[in-house]
């Protein structure tokens, strides 16, 4: 999962990036472990030779968006298209040390980036439709040009009205065509309002209201003081909970970022518990057992026979996989079984 941090200059993207990386960032791209007490408990019990947690890859290598109504550069667009999700860091703090392109107005800036994403996609749609009108095959039902025209005509009106593609209900076929063009406003998004240290425990009401509004439209949003969070990330892990509590916070920025990314992408986690490698796997909510098998390895999916399933809650009560099996808590499921968050899987396959 590649997460690209975007935002205007001096919004605090790099500071939040370092905070979310828990002080372990090396360069502009880093893997952040998905915190999961269930995985930790499984590892403690199994004691595998190798433990592989789920991770999110953060990218701080996308150039700043330009302020004052200027559109995105081609460099920005090309980099953003490669991301699975965009994390928009919005400046909401006052500082004489860090200049800004305009007065600090987080609601304006959050909307501004969204508008630019929509306009970038609208330009692609209009240009493509103009070329399609000259195509000889566009009138042939079922042809690639015909299908593109049908989808692009559907997209044009909502984009013209300022609606991002991610807010539209598209069919599976429409989603496939949209994905091929890597539209920026179609990508899942998370918004992080970067507030001042003195507001960390009690963010401004207007920002909390905007976070709630965005969440209701499928865009997770939260407030965090990137500067303060970076300081917390540099503390020893044992000292962090006490410091967080003293600041009126319940969890560090790394956890909030990862949870928001999981929410925006509609992900769950399943586990494989082996003595050689115990692994946590991100998976799209609603995915089948054979899809989970393919996530582990394509050959496992091809040779899929049955999935042995033990839910984490049953595993926890039993104390081990062997005990869960003995207690009759293992179920044999076929390819179409829908994986649940916390399932422990063992795939029977044709080796």
Q: What does residue 23 show for φ and ψ, rounded to 5 degrees? A: 75, 10
Q: Is the domain of 295 the same as that of 242? A: no
Question: For residue 80, what are the CA distances in angstroms to 20, 187, 214?
Answer: 19, 9, 21
Listed residue (189, 263, 224) closest to 20, CA to CA:
224
Per-residue pLDDT of 212-225, as tens digits, reads: 999 998 899 999 99
Q: Is the domain of 241 the same as that of 306? A: no
* pLDDT confidence of residue 70: 57
Q: Dihedral sign, CA of 91, 95, 99, 100?
A: positive
* pLDDT confidence of residue 108: 92
Per-residue pLDDT of 242-285, as tens digits, reads: 888 888 888 888 888 999 999 999 999 999 999 999 999 999 99
Task: Write down the pTM of the prediction.
Answer: 0.89
Q: Is the domain of 318 the same as that of 253? A: no
Q: Dihedral sign, CA of 260, 209, 233, 24?
A: positive
Does some domain include residue 274?
A: no
Q: How many domains does the chain contain in total?
A: 2
Distance CA 291, CA 270 (A): 12
* pLDDT confidence of residue 200: 87
Does some domain include residue 47?
A: yes
Which residue stretches of the chain have pLDDT < 70? 67-71, 97-101, 351
Q: What CATH number is associated with residue 293?
A: 3.10.20.30
* pLDDT confidence of residue 68: 52
* pLDDT confidence of residue 248: 80
Q: What CATH number is associated with residue 243?
A: 3.40.50.300
Q: Is the domain of 43 the same as that of 155? A: yes
* pLDDT confidence of residue 101: 63
Does some domain include residue 169?
A: yes
């Amino acid at each position: 999962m590649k997460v690209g941090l975007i935002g205007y200059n001096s919004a605090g993207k790099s500071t939040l990036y370092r905070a979310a990386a828990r002080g372990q960032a090396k360069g502009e791209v880093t893997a952040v472990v998905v915190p999961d007490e269930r995985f930790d408990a499984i590892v403690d019990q199994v004691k595998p030779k190798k433990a592989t947690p789920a991770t999110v890859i953060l990218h701080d290598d996308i150039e700043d968006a330009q302020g004052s109504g200027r559109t995105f550069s081609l460099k920005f667009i090309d980099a953003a298209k490669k991301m699975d999700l965009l994390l928009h860091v919005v400046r909401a703090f006052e500082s004489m040390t860090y200049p800004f392109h305009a007065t600090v107005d987080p609601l304006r800036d959050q909307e501004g980036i969204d508008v630019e994403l929509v306009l970038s996609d609208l330009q692609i749609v209009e240009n493509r439709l103009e070329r399609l009108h000259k195509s000889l095959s566009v009138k042939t039902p079922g042809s690639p040009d015909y299908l593109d025209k049908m989808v692009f005509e559907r997209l044009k009106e909502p984009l013209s009205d300022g609606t991002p593609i991610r807010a539209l209900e598209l069919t599976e076929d429409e989603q496939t065509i949209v994905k091929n063009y890597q539209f920026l406003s179609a990508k899942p998004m998370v918004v992080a309002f970067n507030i001042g240290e003195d507001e960390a425990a009690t963010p401004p009401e207007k920002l909390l209201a905007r976070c709630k509004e965005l969440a209701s439209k499928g865009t997770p949003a939260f407030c965090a003081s990137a500067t303060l969070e970076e300081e917390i990330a540099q503390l020893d892990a044992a000292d962090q909970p006490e410091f967080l509590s003293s600041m009126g916070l319940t969890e560090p920025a790394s956890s909030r970022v990862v949870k928001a990314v999981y929410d925006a992408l509609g992900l769950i986690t399943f586990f494989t518990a082996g003595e050689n490698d115990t692994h946590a796997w991100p998976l799209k909510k609603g995915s089948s057992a054979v899809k989970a098998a393919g996530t582990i390895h394509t050959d496992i999916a091809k040779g899929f026979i049955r999935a042995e399933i033990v839910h984490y809650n049953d595993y926890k009560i039993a104390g081990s996989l062997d005990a869960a099996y003995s207690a009759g808590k293992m179920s044999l499921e076929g390819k179409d079984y829908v994986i649940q968050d916390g399932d422990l899987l063992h795939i029977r396959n044709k080796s």
